[in-house]
Amino acid sequence: MALNPKVFPHGMPVPFLNELFVLANDGVDFEIDNIPSLGVVQAKGIIYLSNIRMVFVAKNPRDNFTAFDIPLLFVYGEILNQPIFSCKNISGYVNPVVVPANENNVIPHSFKILFKECDCENFIPLFFNLIGKVRRRYRRSRAKARVDPLQEAKASVDEMTRYAYVDPNDPTSIFLQQPTPEP
């Protein structure tokens, strides 16, 4: 997890080497806690999902918060909440990627992605599918099975997006090709 990862001037996150963005969902509310010097942060913006991470980019950055990066490997306790009188949301926890040497106990961040202004029917299955694939790939790598994780991740993303159905009323952007940074 990282506070304020690098983003292009138009707001899209700068991809890592061999990172493949699957979709972007505009109109989400995002909440995260235990942010140093900020505490709990709530913002509206766009959530990007890739084969490696989720990146939330705030529409109106404030209080030194413009974006937040959540590696899928460090997410746990994720759950889909479907309240009767409110919007669907995904909540869970993410452990810090880097822990200071003088701290013994790791304080996880709890996060919540609320789909208030948009549809989540494309995001939810891809999110849970990618988290499952990341965990399986990690377990295999720990078991010394030598599989190229980058090739496997690319194949799984290609397979998921090959059969994509797009609802014209849904503001979700599914990336069938990797977006190029705007000048």
Listed in sequence order, the DSSP H helices in the chain are 123-142, 149-162
**Among candidate residues 95, 91, 38, 33, the one with its CA nearest the CA of residue 61:** 38
Q: Residue 72: its pLDDT value, please?
A: 92
Q: Residue 93: its pLDDT value, please?
A: 94
**133, part of any domain:** yes
Tokens at 115, concatenated: 């789909």
Q: Residue 45: its pLDDT value, please?
A: 93
Residue with tokens 């084969």: 51
**182, part of any domain:** no
Q: Residue 166: its pLDDT value, please?
A: 56
In the chain the first and final C-alpha atoms are separated, in Å, by: 27
Centre a 10 Å sphere on the Cβ of residue 166 and count the other Cβ atoms it contains. 11
**7, part of any domain:** yes
> Contact, 141 vs 147, CB < 8 A?
yes
**179, part of any domain:** no
Centre a 10 Å sphere on the Cβ of residue 128 and count the other Cβ atoms it contains. 13
Tokens at 157, concatenated: 């993303």
Which residues form the domain of 90?
2-96+106-171
Q: Residue 138: its pLDDT value, please?
A: 85
**39, part of any domain:** yes
User: Facing residues of 23 across strands?
Assistant: 49, 174
Q: Residue 177: its pLDDT value, please?
A: 62
Q: What CATH number is associated with residue 8?
A: 2.30.29.30
Helix (H, G, I), strand (E, B) or coil at 92: strand
Q: Is the pTM of this model over 0.85?
A: no
Q: Residue 85: its pLDDT value, please?
A: 84
SS3 content of the chain, % helix, strand, coil (to 5): 20, 40, 40
Averaged pLDDT score across all residues of the chain: 80
Render each residue's pLDDT in the chain as its tens digit; 183 residues. 678 888 988 888 988 888 888 888 888 999 999 877 788 889 999 999 999 999 999 998 887 889 999 999 999 999 998 888 888 899 999 988 776 666 666 788 899 999 887 777 888 888 999 999 888 888 887 776 455 555 555 555 556 555 555 566 666 666 666 666 665
**22, part of any domain:** yes
Number of domains in the chain: 1
